Amino acid sequence: MDRHLIALDLDGTLLNDDKIISNRTLETIKAAKEAGHIVAIATGRPFRVSRQFYEQMALDTPIVNMNGALIHHPKKKNWDHLHSPLPKNVAYDIIDTCYDVGVQNILAEIMDQVYIEFNNNHSITDFFQVGLDSPAIFGNMKTNLADDPSSVLIHPFDDRVNQIRQILTDRHQSIIDHRKWGAPFHVIEVIRSDMHKAVGVHKIAKYYDIPKERIIAFGDEDNDFEMIDYAGVGVAMGNGITELKNLANEITNTNHRDGVAEFLETYLNLPKPALTKK
């Protein structure tokens, strides 16, 4: 069989509801690699909180982080990486919007440096500090944020999500893209416009000389739209949002029922692992 590129979202897709890769899925990914296929991660997470899964799958491929704001190769420092931050003045205006509307928290990332406005909800602040080489910087974002950020993340109150997103669209539609994360944290992520997972998947496919029709992409949320639409085989998870399912070429089982493994085993004619559950 011809070599395929398998592009994997993490949360709600590769990871099950316990935020781990199941034994069956891990073995199927291993079988896909042994068959000569290329496996790559395309996630909204920064690298520091996706590294463990990259290493668990023993990958040696480029990775798409921050929904395309950072595309790099962890094993090849001289690889043609792409980092596309937000203009700092736009970030400041987004922060002002958050102040005006009222939010639970505001966070920003410059590569792997994290800035956090409020030290209040420790479940979310702890998550964003995983794997940091230097401590997160807490306090007034406009005072602390000195450079163009890779992304700005807004933790809104549930009843103000649509209001904030509409303001962001009205003020900065030509400059930014904003996406909503799913569980466990309902966060609005803001990145530079035209930077999305499909940009990274295209770059990786070109690097390995894999045509579009042999790209298989898996996703579940609205930050997967462009990637699913771009891929020759766009696969929505059974737990995915309706809009993504309507866009996808295929729908597989849910993330908690090994949907990625189930699809790859059939589509790529891979052996089903003897051990399917832990």
Catalytic residues: 9
Q: Torsion angle, CA of 19/181/250/193, rounded to 10 degrees?
A: -130
Q: Can the peptide bond before residue 184 be classed as cis, meaning omega within 30 degrees of 0?
A: yes
d(CA 170, CA 61): 38
CA distances from 251 to 41, 169, 227 (A): 19, 30, 15
CA 184-190-195 angle, to 5 degrees, is 110
Structural contact between residues 70 and 112, judged by C-beta atoms closer than 8 angstroms: no
List strand residue ranges (DSSP E) for the chain, in order: 5-8, 38-41, 63-65, 70-72, 82-83, 105-110, 113-116, 137-138, 151-155, 176-180, 188-192, 215-219, 233-236, 250-251
Q: Which two tokens stand for residue 85?
A: 């931050």
Handedness of CA 10, 137, 164, 18 (dihedral sign): positive
Residue with tokens 């549930």: 158
d(CA 56, CA 74): 14
- Strand-pair partners of 250: 235
